[in-house]
Amino acid sequence: MFDASAQRRKPGDMRPVVIVKLGSTMPHLQASRGDYEDWIAAGLDGLRDVRVCRVVEGDALPSPEAQRAVVVTGSSALVTDRAAWSERTGAWLKELVAHDRPLLGICYGHQLLADVLGGEVGMNPDGREIGMIDVQLNERAKSDPLFGVLPSTIRVSSSHRQSVLGLPRGARRLASNAATLNQAYALGERTWAMQFHPEWDHEVIGAYLEDRFDTLLGEGLDPSALLAGAQASPHGLRILQRFAEIVS
């Protein structure tokens, strides 16, 4: 039967979803499990035409208006080092926000976005935060399109030394914990950023803890206890799935 309503439907947005890759995981983990972009793309399952822009390797950043949505990865670099590739990406992110494209900043991406928009980024006052952590969502998060599908406390993977010490003007804090005040924030209606890694599962964070075992001991942390706490949680994956639903 002819469906007249089908003739009235607008075609889907065919622009690509771009993962802006600002860093890589450890080589041995990459060989066995893939890298940041692979884990993010898996979480965005259902979105067509997901592309990767490897900025650190010299890829040119695409025009903001040509993107359906953007996810910015983490990195082992420090925002305050002001690397050329980082400054270039920061300027592009500022333009992207002005074009109102759906945006998800993860870890380094979360910090870089805050920095370029006038927030403050620096060494976390409480030192390194690593492992599976509990993050508390606030009242604003309950009505947020992305975080509103989650419980009031989420368990996610994290590894960072720097953090967002001051939010940019207009940003809305959505999540915190005792170690990091600004665990997640939103800007406008379609920009979100989070200090933790929603794309890392318990096996990935376990690999990081094992790799940095001696370093963590030297910093006064208990890597054995952190490893014991690396248990599966659905919350990180749900964030990526929800972002994909919003983009769709």
Catalytic site positions: 107, 197, 199
* Euclidean distance between CA atoms 73 and 101, whole angstroms: 16
Asked if 105 contacts 119 with a C-beta cutoff of 8 angstroms, the reply is: no
CB atoms within 10 A of CB 33: 15
Beta strands in 56-214 (DSSP E): 69-72, 103-106, 120-123, 129-137, 153-160, 162-166, 172-176, 184-187, 191-194
Instruction: Let me know the angle formed at the C-alpha of 39 by 106 and 141, rounded to the nearest 5 degrees.
Output: 40
Asked if 140 contacts 187 with a C-beta cutoff of 8 angstroms, the reply is: no
* Euclidean distance between CA atoms 90 and 112, whole angstroms: 6
